[in-house]
Structure formats: C-alpha cells, structure tokens
Structure 1
Amino acid sequence: MDDRSNSRARRTRTGLLFVAAALLAVQGCGGGSKPAPHPSASTGSPSAANSPTPQPSATQLPNPLDNVGTAGNTLAVKIDNVGRQTQALQQGLAQADIVYWIQVEGGLSRFLALYDSNHLPGSIGPVRSARETDIPLLQQYGRLDFAYSGAISGLKPLLAQADLTNITPITDPGLYSNGGIGPTFVDPHKLFAKYPSVPARSPGFRFGDAPGGGTPLNDMTWRQPAATIGVHYNGSGYDVAVDGHSSWSGTATVVVQHVSIVPGSFTDYNAGSAANEVFTHTTGSGTAQVLRGGQVWNVTWNRPDPNGGTSYTLPDGSAMPFATGPVLVVLVP
C-alpha cells in the first residue's frame, strides 16, 4: 500500500472480523431522501517518484475535503469494485480524501474517490466507467478533474455539459496504464500536471471535536442487493472491508447517508437487462448516521441546492463535526 503524506497516519492492510451491529435502531434507520447522487501493486503501475509533482494551491487554506493540510486542486476517479480479483488490484483508496460507495447495475457497487493534489498516491484504479449518479454528486464540488474509463452513449452529452474536466482513455490515453484497456490505472501526478483543475471546494463537511451524545459502536455492515461494505473501529480509525474482504484502513469518519435509489434514465444493453441502470439521489434531505472514534450519532443530511454542499446536523440543529482525516460516505436506502 502506498504511503500518503507525513500528515496522514500510516495505513496498513489488516484482516477484519466483522460482528453483527449492536445498534439495531441505527442499522434499521431507513429514512429516504426527497429528490429536488492496498492495494495489491499492479505490474507496471506508475509511481509518484517518477512523476511530475503539481504545484500546491496558492490559497494555503485548510483542505476542505478532510481537513488534512492545505487545499490543493481536486480530482475524482471512478474505481471498479466488482469481484474479488478486481478488489485485489485496487490502488489509491486508502489515500483518498473522500470515498463514496455507490450502487450500480445488478445491485453491485463501485467507488467514487476524491483526491486533493497536495497529497496523492502514485496510482489509482482500476478505473471504470461513469454513471448518471456521478454528475449531480460531483456538482457540489465545483469544477474538477474527473477520470473514468468511458460511459454509455446516452450519458456522454450530459458529461460533456457538466462542469467537469472529463479525462478518459479516449481523450488522453497517455495518462492511463495498459493503453486504457482494463484493468487500467491513472497516475494523478501526471494528470494534474496536464489538467491543473481548481482549488478544492467544500462539500459541506465541518470538522472539529466529537460532540456529546454518541452511542458506542465499533462494527457495522451495510448491504446493497449484491454487495456489502463494513467498518471496524481499531482504536485510531476505521478498517474497511468490502464483500467480506479486508480493503483499507485509516478512515477517520464514516457517513451512512440514507438516499432514494431509483431506475436510471439510461440502459446499458451490454449488461443484458433493459432496466439495469440505477440512479442515486444525493440532493434533498434524509436521515444519516455519522461514525467517528468508535461512536455513532443519528443526524439529518440536507442538500437543497445541487450546486451547494451537504450539511449534516444533530437533533439540536447544530452541525455534526467530522474527525480530521479521510471520509467514507456509504450511500444506501
């Protein structure tokens, strides 16, 4: 696993033994939204040592993604998560500032990971295709670089119209390993050198000391129709397991955001189903849980404006502060 900057704790791959979640009231909470979105080293993967380093942001403002260091520019990457063989190849998840776990067709899952240019892994992937959910989800971050392997034809015009710098093996094959043929990985240092992006914008997160009123909870697992993700608090952060297998460590805050997942607008006939695409609503409001430091809090999430960030508030109306460090957002019904 790659080491991140010195400001981030060393993350090592650890075996996890997940137990059943003890907080039934939390796990059973299913408030829907109101619609208005370690890696095993890959042979030949690019390394940070041989890559040009982007210039840090001149703003010197705190990093709004995970509060580690100063704000750089922003990159989003769609990462494959289907099958044990693919999961064993994953790179860059532990070093991401924010990781979203998102349902895709067939009840499977993929990751959408966001990175600040001031602390990057050497390689990210395997890179996979964009989905309809990604566009409104990323809208709250302002203009950023978006690396993905492709998209179905109906979605391409929407991606072109979105406030994104779309970077694919078709538009820039030199940035992808293996000529863009899967499994393919992207070197974020080379990408930022060519596409500098803009300084990171806050997605609405607030960071600070843990509030009172949390309930002890060390282990929790969530399910999509054909995928699972779970976390275990190890005393300093959260170990993450995907489909029952250890994936990465070092997550500081876990957000469980209950959303509406509905049939999507597009169909990928290659998947063999006329109703295979799904769309996750990430605008509106709903219930959520926030896990940090071995405790959990019930909160409300709210994002009325697609161009604005997502707030998370406690029952008394105050903002729920996140712990400084990487954030995992689990999007489930």
Structure 2
Amino acid sequence: MDTRDRARRRRVAPVAALLAGALSASLVAGCARHGRDDDHRAPHHTRTPTAPTAPTGAGPPLAVKIDNAPAARPQTGLETADVVYAEQVEGGLSRLMAVYATRLPRTVGPVRSARESDLELLRQFRRPVLAFSGAQHALLPLIDRAPLRAEPPDEAPGAYHRDTGRAAPHNLYLRPAALLRTAPGTAALTTGFRYGPAPSGGTPAPSRTVRYPAARFTFTWSAARGSWRVTMDGTPAGTAPATVVVQHVRVRTSRYHDALGNHTPYTATVGSGRAEVLRDGRAFEAHWSRPTAAAGTAFTAPDGSRLDFAAGQVWVVFVPAG
C-alpha cells in the first residue's frame, strides 16, 4: 500500500465510524416506540422480529380484547364475531375477547388491555392476531414469546383511532382491515366446537343469568329470532348468539395486578369440568375437556356423546367452578 492509499484510508475511517454511530442511534430510537396500557399505565415495547413462517392452510383469526365497563357500552362490532369469550377481571368486573374468522367488521371496540389468561386461551388458534390496548409491564415478555402476532397501538398505530365522543380509556377503536386483508374463513376457528342438530333432552331455559361480583350477563331466548338476546348489567349488547356456553373453570389469583393493586384473576381454560350449553331455548348439561393449550375444547353430553352447537355465533362465559 502506497503513501496515498494510507492517507485516503485515514480520512475515510472517521467518516465511516460517524455513519455507523448515527445508524446505531437511529435503530435504538426506532426501537424505543412506546404505547400505554389504559389499565396499568405500562408501556408495550417493540417485539423482537421473527423469521416468517410458511403458511399452513387457513390464515390467522383476529382476537380483540373489548371493554365491558358501563362507560364502554354499547360496544361496536360484537355482532360480527364468531366467538365471544367473557372472563372476570380485577374488582369483579368483566372483559370480553371477540374472535373473528368469517367476517371482519369495519370497526371494533372499545379496545382494552390483555391478561395472562388470554395467552393460554389463544393457544388453540394458529398464530392468531391479538389486538389490545397494552398490558402490565411484567406481562409484556410473555406476550412477546407467545405464538401469536401482537398488534397493540404502538405496533400498528394506523389501525387504531380514538372516538372523540367518548371519554378515555373507553374510546379506543380498531379497524380490523388494517391488520388482516381478508377474513381467513371457518378453517381458522380451531376451537374444537362441533355444530349440528340439537340433541334430545335438555330442560326449557327461557333465560339464564351469570353473575360475577361486579358484573351480570343475562341471555334470553327469542324463538322468533332463533337466538339469545344478550344484556350486560341490564344493557342490551346488540348481538344474538345461537349458542351460549357457561363453562365452569378453575380461577386463581395471578401474580399480576392493576394500577390500584387489585390482583388479576387467572382463568384456566386447560383441563376439564362441568358446563351448561344453551341452544334452541333449552339448557343441556355437559362436560368440557381441553387436554392441552394447543387443543380446542370438546363438549360432551352426560352419556359421553358429542354435544353439538347451533350454527351461528357462540358466547362462552367462564365462571369459577364451585
């Protein structure tokens, strides 16, 4: 190397180092995007990029955490969901998770935060898309490691908007088309539910009420519509499931809590237990079984035969086993 080459390299090296430092700073700044969880005031950090996986049949369903406080009603988009799960959260209140596979509504909400129980419940689907407002800081690493595609507002800001006619935190709404180009179809509903004619037996059930310490669901049969009218704390929900499942599960206290120090209940959906299946205006005693988190939930009659659901929307309300 001659004298001129050595001099040129001495001039280039500081510039290269400066550019490398600037690029590194830019990447760090890009990874510092934060959102806020409306319940816990904890940020959600940018998830670690993962290698794309090959498609395996149906695309992923969309799961949305939906507020169910009185100020959040009436909710938007519930009537389009294929499955709606109801669970107890802090303070004896309730929260909903709506799952969409056959149709995507224009708007869903209000969107609220995720819970630890959601990760186990969602394992039954193939890498579902989870829309939520945020989560407690300590829960974020579990969400990042879960086999799902987390899409809170800081990851997909263009998919969310605030309704200026409502007060925060009950005013965050999702545009599902910004996360999924099309609905994946029924093949994405790997719930384990089976559909078919009504079984024999059962008892007449004109209505059924499920109570949490600070929340109440009532399902009233409408023969004219062939579905159940839903009210939550007396407020009509604007949706009418064909089947309602009251699933008795183990509920324990988790290590997570809200901003007021109230510990979050953990609803265990893996295991087995008793259930009531409401369809066609009748109640059927059932047994539920979900052996692993990756499996769906099977429902059987007392004689061991398969218990089919009516075609249409399904509501599953988790209640503590007695």
1:209 matches 2:209: no
**Can you give the 5+ residue segments of structure 2 that lack an aligned partner in the other structure?**
1-54
Distance 1:58 1:160, change over 3 A: closer
- Aligned amino acid, residue 248 of structure 1: G
RMSD, aligned CA: 2.4
After TM superposition, list the pairs within 5 Å mapping 1:1-333 onto structure 2. 73-83=60-70, 85-88=71-74, 90-116=75-101, 118-178=102-162, 182=169, 183-193=171-181, 200-235=188-223, 236-268=226-258, 270=259, 272-273=260-261, 275-333=262-320
Contact 2:247 2:317 in 1 (8 A): yes
Contact 2:124 2:293 in 1 (8 A): yes
Per residue, is there more helix in 1 or in 2?
2
In 2, distance between residues paired with 1:244 and 1:262? 27
Cα offset, 1:222, TM superposition: 0.5
Contact 2:65 2:96 in 1 (8 A): yes
In 1, distance between residues paired with 2:185 and 2:160? 18
Distance 1:198 1:239, change over 3 A: closer
Cα offset, 1:196, TM superposition: 8.0
- Aligned amino acid, residue 160 of structure 2: Y
Which structure ranks higher in relative contact order (CA pairs < 8 Å, sequence separation ≥ 6)? 1
- Aligned amino acid, residue 162 of structure 1: A
Structure number with greater Rg is: 2
- Aligned amino acid, residue 186 of structure 1: L
Distance 1:323 1:199, change over 3 A: closer
In 1, distance between residues paired with 2:59 and 2:203? 35
Contact 1:205 1:321 in 2 (8 A): yes
Task: Give 3-state SS (helix, strand or coil) of 1:248's partner.
Answer: coil
- Which consecutive segments of 4 or more residues in structure 1 shift more than 2 A? 178-182, 193-199
In 2, distance between residues paired with 1:211 and 1:313? 11
Task: Give 3-state SS (helix, strand or coil) of 1:209's partner.
Answer: coil
- Aligned amino acid, residue 198 of structure 2: A
Cα offset, 1:198, TM superposition: 11
* TM-score in terms of structure 2 length: 0.76
* TM-score in terms of structure 1 length: 0.74
In 2, distance between residues paired with 1:248 and 1:195? 22
Cα offset, 1:142, TM superposition: 2.2
TM-superposition CA deviations, 1:87-108 (whole Å, max 9, x none): 13x1011111000011000100
Distance 1:196 1:151, change over 3 A: farther
